[in-house]
Structure 1
Amino acid sequence: MTEWTALHPIIDGGDPDNVVRLVQGMDATTRKALAEPLRAYEKQLRTAAFVSKRFWGPRLCALTVAGAALLPTASSVAVWIARNGLREDETGTDVIDLVVEVLRDRQVTWLPDLVDRLALRLPSDRLDPDMQQLVTSLATHTGIAPLATDGLVYAWIATGEAHTSRSSLARRLFEVDGIGVLLEPGGWPGKLAGDPALDRVMLLEGCLFRLRRGGRAADLNGFLLLHKALAPTTDEVAMLAGDYEALLSNSHAPTAAMARHELLLASQAGLSR
């Protein structure tokens, strides 16, 4: 196969830029024909008798770009990218922009599905900045917001970056473990409370829900700070009185104290009217 004869040495030489050049404008039939030898080549490398990180390193990024350009479905591309990675460890060179370039060149209809599949692969307890950047870049290209996955919510809060999907991410803020501890260092209580794009009642209800769930004190303290920044009015407390009352017996003493204080203020305001 002429095309594979040309592509194989480029991947084997660890040259992702030239992979892009070779696949640019390639028709769907040719891509399909190249997918199988590409898979066979990767399998051969991974099952070789001697495989070291030094042996793999230069080829991984080129493999990632080639898979993004040739594999037939969103699911196969997502698995391929996650397996081969987006950055060469020794040089620190990433291929995020190249992956986006070859995917855009394909003009396939399944890019939004790929964005969601990649977002689902983001870890929910640590940052994966390369995968996050790829998800964000592809979402910008498609114009469709990705799923508000645990990993995407974590990355949003951990990095402190502005996000066009923050309304949907904020709704999931209270369901992802380990987020509370990140709120104060990132200045998030004030940013969330002062964001006009976010529903204030949703944030209040979310705080009360998360505090009622319980958990580590460090996590709960972050949501107490968010509640303080929201500074609920007596009318809002009265509207959510049942939720506050449910916190009165909370084992986290600061949470119970906050609930007593807010209910007392609301009661006093009601008596004075």
Structure 2
Amino acid sequence: MNPWREVLDRIEAGEEEDLARFLNGLNDLGRHAVALRLPGHLAEELRGGLEARWDIEAMAPGYRLAGAACFTGAEQVAAWLNRRELRLPLNAERDALRILSVLRRRTVEWRADLAVRLARRLRPQTGRARRREEGMPGWDLAAALVADTGIEPPDGDAFVVGWVWRLVLRRRWGLGGVGGDPLLVAMVPRLFRAQGVGAPLSLDERLDLGILAELAVLADEGRVPRATLVEGCAARFLADGPAEEIVPFARLWRLLEPEPDELPVSDFVRLLPRAPAPLAQLAVEELWRAEEAGLLGDELFAEAVGALAYRREKKFAQAAVRWLARTPRPRAGAAAGALACVFGVDNPALRERAVRLALTLAPHADDAGRAAIREAAALLPGDLRARVDTAYGAALT
């Protein structure tokens, strides 16, 4: 028997299951013979140009099996499996199970080492892999080895992002939800720290019951700590990052429906000046709830209203005016200076409403607020400015 010829024939015929059985029956001498021929054969085949590369990609599952079974070192196997022409098997989950089957003879320590090395090589998917929505190349095998060896999932954002992609895609294919995932307990806290999860979570939002909705259900059932989800969302809101990385967690927050005493009131106030609009809107809604529950002190109230009025978006200026209008006069008066920011908006109706409210609050405004309003009155048309000057005094020129 020529081990190399037997292996190559099965690779070229696409007989992966038979190949796995054959590789598992090889002795050390046979595996060594295959390992000696495999790299040179692939290099020679790649000289055939683009068409040859396509053929090799089609046979990638067999090449991957042969390398995993026959190369000696974990680093050599990891490098082989991550070769550009081999790293995208057509069915990543099935490929991972087959490779696990030819790695059983290796020690647990060796397989754990390979899992870590594969995890370090994980990269976000691009190009054709992204269009096929196959998740993150290499993640399935790394994760299968993690589960098989019982080690702690490797650190790094890429492993978390790969986990989210796999959950989303499995749900799309009707292959199960979050609750039965073997990595759930270890990965949930990491979900809120990893950059790059926004893309799969945004895709997931199109589903009737996505993984974030399922996490909220699991929290209600006590299978996932509710505090982990609530505190994780709050921490993610405060972290820097693009809107697409934060918006999914605003959705999860709404699904969790935190009680007023769970609200991180001061953190939400801190978010208002700089948060992306969807997160700022969530902060406004939650601060209103905190206000109704008596959890927003005078100083934080004034800071929140001022931050809203200062933002450029019309809806937040409107929110600031509405909030002041429905607040008891003495409390609103301490924040009246926020209306100065609204005097310059390019919206006559909103500007006039802000002026009317400023006139109502004039007896309650503090010195700083009165000074801000007097100065901003210069931005108003003559009739509105005259009304403000009467109530607050003309600004010094």
The TM-score bracket by the shorter chain reads 0.7 to 0.9
| Amino acid in the other structure paired with 1:66 | A
Tell me which residue corresponds to 2:20: 20
Tell me the number of residue pairs that the alignment of Structure 1 and Structure 2 aligns. Answer: 266
Q: State yes or no: 1:184 paired with 2:205.
A: yes
In the alignment, is residue 74 of structure 1 matched against residue 97 of structure 2?
no
How far apart, CA to CA, are the structure 1 residues paired with 2:237 and 2:134? 28
Q: Is the 8 A contact 1:111 1:138 kept in 2?
A: yes
* Larger deviation, residues 183-192 vs 38-47: 183-192
User: Which residue does the alignment assign to 2:118?
Assistant: 118
Q: 1:33 to 1:210 in 2, by over 3 A?
A: same
Q: Which blocks of at least 5 consecutive residues in structure 2 are unaligned?
A: 172-176, 297-397
SS of 1:117's equivalent in the other structure is helix
Larger Rg: 2
1:142 is aligned to 149
Equivalent position SS for 1:164: coil
Deviates most, 162-171 or 30-39: 30-39
Q: Is the 8 A contact 1:244 1:263 kept in 2?
A: yes
**In the TM superposition, what is the alpha-carbon distance from 1:64 to its structure 2 partner?**
1.4
Q: 67-76 or 118-127, which moves further after superposition?
A: 118-127
Task: Give the residue type in structure 1 aligned to 2:70.
Answer: L
The 3 A distance-change label for structure 1 pair 79 and 243 is same
1:68 Cα deviation from its structure 2 partner: 1.1
Which residue of structure 2 lines up, in the alignment, with residue 215 of structure 1? 242
Shift of 1:226: 1.0
Q: Deviations over 1:140-195 (max 9, x none)?
A: 43333533614323314522442221233222323223245245334334322232
8 Å CA contact 1:69, 1:103 repeated in 2: yes
Identity of aligned residues (%): 28
CA distance in 2, matches of 1:228, 1:76: 47
On the 8 A contact 2:3/2:33 being kept in 1, the answer is: no
Contact 1:182 / 1:222 at 8 angstroms: preserved in 2?
A: no
TM-score between the two structures when normalised by the length of structure 2: 0.56
* Contact 1:38-1:67 at 8 Å conserved across structures: yes
Whether the 8 Å CA contact 1:132–1:155 is kept in 2: the answer is no
Bigger shift: residues 61-70 or 31-40: 31-40
The 3 A distance-change label for structure 1 pair 12 and 231 is closer
Q: Which residue of 2 aligns with 1:227?
A: 253
- For the Cα contact (< 8 Å) 1:35–1:67, is it kept in 2? yes
Change (3 A) 1:234 1:143: same
Deviations 1:180-227 (A, max 9, x none): 5245334334322232333323322332333332523x5543222211
**What is the distance in 1 between the residues matched to 2:13 and 2:73?**
26
Distance 1:111 1:254, change over 3 A: same
Q: Give per-residue Cα distances to partners, 1:97-153, cap 9 Å, x unaligned.
A: 432211124456321232333344555454435744434444443333533614323
* C-alpha distance in 2 between matches for 1:61 and 1:173: 31
1:176 maps to a residue whose letter is Q
Q: Cα–Cα, structure 1 residues 201 and 242, in superposed 2: closer, same or farther, change >3 Å? A: farther
Match of 1:241 in 2: 265
> Does the residue aligned with 1:176 lie in a helix, a strand or coil?
coil
Distance 1:9 1:108, change over 3 A: farther
CA positional deviation for 1:70: 0.5
- C-alpha change, 1:211 and 1:12, in structure 2 (3 Å) is same
Structure 2 Cα separation of the partners of residues 74 and 25 of structure 1 = 20
| C-alpha displacement of 1:54 | 5.4
Residue of structure 2 equivalent to 1:265: 289
Measure, in 1, the Cα distance between the counterparts of 2:122 and 2:284.
39
Shift in CA distance, 182/145, structure 1 to aligned 2, threshold 3 Å:
farther
Deviation of 1:258 after TM superposition, in Å, equals 2.7
**Unmatched 5+ stretches in structure 1:** none
Distance 1:271 1:150 in 2: 36
What amino acid is the match of 1:101? S
- Work out the CA distance in 2 between the residues paired with 1:33 and 1:108: 24
- TM-score normalised per structure 1: 0.77
Do the aligned residues in 2 keep the contact of 1:45 with 1:51 (CA within 8 Å)?
A: no
The change in CA–CA distance for 1:69 and 1:214 in structure 2 (over 3 A counts) is closer
